[in-house]
Structure 1
Amino acid sequence: MPLHIETPLIESPLLGAPGRRVWLKMEALQPPGSFKLRGVGLACEHHARRGARRLVSSSGGNAGLAVAWSGRALGLPVTVVVPQTTPQRALQALRDLGAEVQVHGASWQEAHSAALALITADAALIHPFDDPLLWQGHASLIAEAARQGPKPGAVVLSVGGGGLLAGVVRGLQEQGWHDVPVLAVETEGAASFRAATLAGQTVDIGAITSRATSLGARRVCEQALRCWREHPVHSVLVSDAQAIAASLRFVDQHRVVVEPACGASLAVLAPQGPLHPVLARSHEVLAIVCGGATAGVEMMREWAAEAGVAAPVTSS
């Protein structure tokens, strides 16, 4: 049995419109809180079978939590190296799952370098987004969606390092859905995928200034750009305010807390926002609710104040 669970696919009339149904693939309901468990769990199982006795991750958020969850399930010790920007909520969640946490550097790249230095003969590095095993695992969500609902006219997802995008495109192609376009959504302060599409190659965008820190990869993986070349993938940008507002609305509408990195893709579906041409001609839309374990009541209040809107959650 895989470490991840099969998540529900539910229709959202509140995000749909006349002539367009929106289907939510509820990856926020994975045990560690995000889609990451699909690919990370597969990678951890793979390395465990090959004799790994320890797992090492470089992630201050959802990937690290997925590694910690997988390590606990497999009976393997886990070390997670995180940057200094990692929220205390995420640090505590990692420790609660039994992971050893090391804080190093001001960015994920620096934390990743430190994680590489910890690799020994009996340890396996679990990359947060750039690994074919991850893409294979993430592709399973499309296989599930194909069993659960109609063929989508478009898929909407958030893109950070590009692992989810690579997995979804793989899943679409495995279904023979080569014609289904993907809207790959980023916030303006973390737009490494957009930069790659403009440059025609992956590039380092320097500092991450977005509040959607889970999208904060300064350079997307090469596979993300390959997907853009080989599949109808459209880069979409939203502001931090739009992403935060979408996360807050989602709590009101669907009673599930997601972080702004997930809110970025949900913002594209906002009724009051400009409709992307791909959505305008899609009768069935599949939205990947990727989740985010760093989201909580206090964080929601902070986001609401930042976005200048009423907080939907008033008690802890």
Structure 2
Amino acid sequence: MPLHIPTPLFESRALSAAAGRSVWLKLEAMQPPGSFKIRGIGLACEQYQRRGATRFISSSGGNAGIAVAYAGRMLGVPVVVVVPETTTERAKALIRAEGAELIVHGAAWHEANALAQSMVTPTDAFLHPFDDALLWQGHASMIDEVAQAGFKPDAVLLSVGGGGLLSGAVEGLQRNGWGDVPVLAVETAGADSFAQSLRAGARIELAGIASIATSLGARQVCERAFALSAQHPILSEVVTDQAAVAACRRFIGDHRIVVEPACGAALAPVYAKAAQLEPFDKVLVIVCGGVTATVEQLEQWSKQLA
């Protein structure tokens, strides 16, 4: 049995009314560790264990680390997760609750990542949060489930951080013969390395992350995600932190589900009836989840950003 579960797929009447078109949700927030990350990370952990790994090491700002810790507990493999100082107390508590060893290091994810990689021994497996072909293969399974349900969307809407979800979704579209289905890739301003790279025609690296959506806080999108922009129809959209948080709060009212701003970014264009959605009658939104935000935090951010 895989470590992820098949997640609900349904048409949202509330979001359809807001967007003026049929909006379908793939509820990855319902995964046991709280986000889509377990699809790819679970697959990778299983593969690495079969190859002889006796410990998993990961770097993360939150959700990936939680997924690795969960996978390690389920597989009986010790886990070390290195997180930056910006990681929320809630995320750190959730990683520890899964039984993983937690190390806090560095002011940003790239510093935590460097330490994590330096710790890897020949008997360890390193779990990158977004840049690994096994992750993309696992993430693609969410599109397989959509195809198996007999629903083909006109477009897929998702959030982009390091590009792991984007790479996996496109792999899923292509392996199901849906190479004609465009992806609307959404980021928050201040964490928009993909959008800036598309404008520059080359991968750029942000000087820093200036967004509260820390799960989207990769200073540079992975090479695979950028390369896909030349191989698959991908549209880029950038929303404000305020719009992402407002979408999270509205989603609670519509579907009684709490997601973090990194996920709210993908919901924001739907609630705003974004112009880029105009050509599409049926839109699939990947509700990627995230368990590092609470209702109280969302309310505080809303007041702070108002």
Tell me the TM-score range normalised by the shorter chain. over 0.9
Matched position secondary structure for 1:287: strand
What letter matches 1:73 in structure 2? M
Q: CA offsets per residue over residues 82-124 of structure 1, 9 Å max, x none? A: 0000000001110000010001100000000000111001110
Shift of residue 187, structure 1, vs aligned partner: 0.4
Matched position secondary structure for 1:125: strand
C-alpha separation in 2, matches of 1:144 and 1:215: 25
What letter matches 1:79 in structure 2? V
**8 A Cα contact 1:12 1:23, kept in partner:** yes
**8 A Cα contact 2:20 2:273, kept in partner:** no
Q: TM-score, normalised by structure 1?
A: 0.94
**8 A Cα contact 1:214 1:261, kept in partner:** yes
Within 5 A, what are the aligned runs for 1:63-212? 63-212=64-213
C-alpha separation in 2, matches of 1:214 and 1:275: 23
C-alpha separation in 2, matches of 1:118 and 1:238: 37
Q: Aligned pair count?
A: 305
Which residue is equivalent to 2:291? 293
Which residue is equivalent to 2:33? 32
Q: 1:19 to 1:198 in 2, by over 3 A?
A: closer
Gaps of 5+ in 1: 309-316
Q: CA offsets per residue over residues 158-217 of structure 1, 9 Å max, x none? A: 000000000000000011111101000000110000111112221111110101110000
Q: In terms of mean alpha carbon deviation, does 17-26 or 93-102 score higher?
A: 17-26
Q: Does structure 1 residue 284 correspond to structure 2 residue 282? A: yes
C-alpha separation in 1, matches of 2:192 and 2:267: 16
C-alpha separation in 1, matches of 2:135 and 2:77: 19
User: Following TM superposition, where does structure 1 have runs of at least 4 consecutive aligned residues deviating by more than 6 angstroms?
Assistant: none
What letter matches 2:180 in structure 1? D
Which residue is equivalent to 2:3? 3
Which residue is equivalent to 1:258? 259
Matched position secondary structure for 1:15: helix
Which residue is equivalent to 2:216? 215
Shift of residue 274, structure 1, vs aligned partner: 4.7
Matched position secondary structure for 1:268: helix
**8 A Cα contact 2:61 2:214, kept in partner:** no
Q: CA offsets per residue over residues 268-296 of structure 1, 9 Å max, x none? A: 101xx25233x212111100000001022
What letter matches 2:2 in structure 1? P
Shift of residue 227, structure 1, vs aligned partner: 1.1
Q: Does structure 1 residue 15 correspond to structure 2 residue 34? A: no
C-alpha separation in 2, matches of 1:192 and 1:174: 27
What letter matches 1:122 in structure 2? T
**8 A Cα contact 2:242 2:302, kept in partner:** no
Shift of residue 297, structure 1, vs aligned partner: 3.0
Gaps of 5+ in 2: none
What letter matches 1:12 in structure 2? S
Matched position secondary structure for 2:71: helix
Q: TM-score, normalised by structure 2?
A: 0.97
Q: In terms of mean alpha carbon deviation, does 147-156 or 298-307 score higher?
A: 298-307
C-alpha separation in 2, matches of 1:115 and 1:105: 11
**8 A Cα contact 2:159 2:187, kept in partner:** yes
What letter matches 2:286 in structure 1? I
Matched position secondary structure for 2:15: coil
**8 A Cα contact 1:9 1:149, kept in partner:** no
Matched position secondary structure for 1:177: coil
C-alpha separation in 1, matches of 2:12 and 2:190: 29
Matched position secondary structure for 1:218: coil
C-alpha separation in 2, matches of 1:45 and 1:3: 9
Which residue is equivalent to 1:53? 54
Which residue is equivalent to 1:269? 270
What letter matches 2:157 in structure 1? V
C-alpha separation in 1, matches of 2:200 and 2:151: 35
**8 A Cα contact 2:161 2:215, kept in partner:** yes
C-alpha separation in 2, matches of 1:190 and 1:304: 18
C-alpha separation in 2, matches of 1:193 and 1:240: 16
Shift of residue 306, structure 1, vs aligned partner: 2.4
What letter matches 2:283 in structure 1? V
**8 A Cα contact 1:245 1:307, kept in partner:** no
What letter matches 2:224 in structure 1? Q
C-alpha separation in 1, matches of 2:193 and 2:20: 33
C-alpha separation in 2, matches of 1:186 and 1:213: 11
